[in-house]
Amino acid sequence: MPAMHWTDAIVEGLRTHEVWTVPYVPDAAGWQVVSKLEADPAFTTVPSTREEEAVGIASGVYAAGGRAAVFMQSSGFGNTINALAQLCIVNRISVPLFIGMRGGLGEFNAAQIPPAQAVVPILDTLGIPHYAPEREEDVPNVVDGALRLCYAGRAPVAVLLYSSLVGAKRAT
Amino acid sequence: MRREEGVRALLDRVTDEPIIANLGPATADLFAAGDRDANLYSFGGMGLVSSIGLGVAMTAPERKVYVTDGDGSLLMNLGSLATIARMRPPNLVLIVWDNHQWAETGGQPTHTATGTDLAGIASAAGIPRVAAVSTLEAFEEALDQAAHEDGPWCIVADVEERGRPARPILDIEANLLRFRRTFEA
């Protein structure tokens, strides 16, 4: 049986773990998932003006007894540090982060490279576990495991979506 | 009006409705006026309470959800007003204690001291119900309306800064879990 498409594996992982609310700042990788969530009446997506705001909204969902995951691009991840460090980690709030990683294989835009290179060191500095499925067949287990860890640990967990999995964005 | 009068007016009008308070004076005044399970206090994450309130309001649509923000903090997250307008949660009431200063850091004047109009920004962002009040009576009137009529609401209350009670010392994780339990069926 061929592996489930990586986007469907993420959608089904969110469904299994009842992560019904998805604040996001659009990016080419994440949108391949978020567009499916927008078309699915079980999910509520929240277009956000800034990545930090999206983490704040997701924290509110958790505070009220729900579950929300945030989708963003590596270039905007730095905007979330205030929310992750001072809100999610301090209050112990579970927020899964799905980060579309630019700045690697196939990158055409030099401005995408430094912020992408900073993502993993920042996650490590904050003590946020991160996982990057490399092959399509790995995605269901990585997503399921990351979501389990996130809700058990009451802390953020990141899933990094690299171009080797999701395809490189092309210059337009 | 004074912020502590406004906090008391709000507490007089709620039973189990959640109140999410900004860091600094909003949290200190709310804790001093009436600690309760449905209070979520802030000690960091400046700028984020309006976003937290949006997430709470979307997750608990059957309850009115009150946020008490500050002018300095809301200025840090103005995009939140546009997102609240876009998602339009009818049960969200965003109250801004506008003391025109960053009171926690020495009273430096914020941009609302030099002409920035947060109620005007909220309206222009598309928030359907906006009130700007400067007396306790007008604040209470706006609160009573917000309790019974669909929003989202943004009530900007011009408050006189006279200091705040001591910062409450409490277990931050326990506060979050206590707040979260109020939503369990």
pLDDT in tens, A48-60: 999 999 999 999 9
Residue B181: closest C-alpha in chain A: A65
Is the CB of residue A66 less than 8 Å away from at least one CB of chain B?
A: yes
What does the alpha-carbon distance between residue B86 and residue B127 come to, in Å, rounded to a whole number?
Answer: 8
Instruction: Compute the C-alpha angle A91/B153/B168, nearest 5°.
Output: 30
In a domain, A116, yes or no: yes
**Chain B neighbors of A87, CB-CB under 8 A:** 44-45, 48, 52
Q: Cα–Cα distance between B158 and B133 in angstroms, integer?
A: 6
> How many angstroms separate the CA of residue A122 from the nearest CA in chain B?
17
Residue A62 touches chain B, beta carbons under 8 Å? yes
Task: State mean pLDDT over A110-125.
Answer: 97
User: What is the DSSP track for A67-83?
Assistant: -B-EEEEHHHHGGGHHH
A35 Cβ partners below 8 Å, 6+ apart?
none
Separation of alpha carbons B128 and B124, rounded Å: 9
- Structural domain span for residue A135: 6-164
Q: Is A85 a domain residue?
A: yes
CA distance A1 to chain B (A): 38
pLDDT tens, residue by residue, B3-56: 999 999 999 999 999 999 999 999 999 999 999 999 999 999 999 999 999 999
Say how far apart CA B125 and CA B78 lie, in whole Å. 9
Is the CB of residue A68 less than 8 Å away from at least one CB of chain B? yes
Q: What is the pLDDT of residue A169?
A: 85
Subunit contact B55:A60, Cβ cutoff 8 A = yes
Predicted local confidence at residue A87, as pLDDT: 97
Phi and psi, residue A17, nearest 5°: -95, 10
Q: Establish if A1 belongs to a structural domain.
A: no
User: HSE on the CB side for B161, CA within 13 Å?
Assistant: 20
Please indicate if any CB of chain B lies within 8 Å of the CB of A22: no
Which of A21, A51, A87 to substitute to test the interface with B, most B CBs within 10 Å?
Answer: A87
Backbone angles phi, psi at B101, to 5 degrees: -155, 160
Subunit contact B60:A64, Cβ cutoff 8 A: yes
Say yes or no for a CB contact (<8 Å) between B48 and A56: yes
Q: Is A73 on the interface with B (CB under 8 A)?
A: no
Segment A2-6 mean pLDDT: 88
Subunit contact A64:B180, Cβ cutoff 8 A: yes
- Mean pLDDT score across all residues of chain B: 97
Report the number of distinct structural domains present in chain A.
1
The values of phi and psi at residue A158, to 5°, are: -110, 140
Closest-CA residue to A20 (of A66, A85, A63, A77): A66
Instruction: Tell me if A172 is assigned to some domain.
Output: no
- Mean pLDDT over A15-20 rounds to 98
pLDDT greater than 90 at residue A170 = no
Residue A171 lies in a domain: no
Distances in whole angstroms, Cα of residue B164 to Cα of each of A82, B25, B134, B185: 25, 6, 19, 35
Distance from CA of B165 to the nearest CA of A (A): 22
Q: Enter the tokens of residue A47.
A: 């277009």
Q: What percent of chain A has a predicted confidence (pLDDT) above 90? A: 95
Say yes or no for a CB contact (<8 Å) between B79 and A47. Answer: no
CA distance B137 to chain A (A): 31
- What are the C-alpha distances in Å from A130 to residues A61, A125, A155, B116, B176? 22, 12, 12, 41, 24
pLDDT value of position A2: 76
CA distance B25 to A41: 40
Ordered structural domains, chain B, with CATH: 3-181 (3.40.50.970)
What's the predicted TM-score (pTM) here?
A: 0.98
**CATH assignment of the domain containing A51:** 3.40.50.970
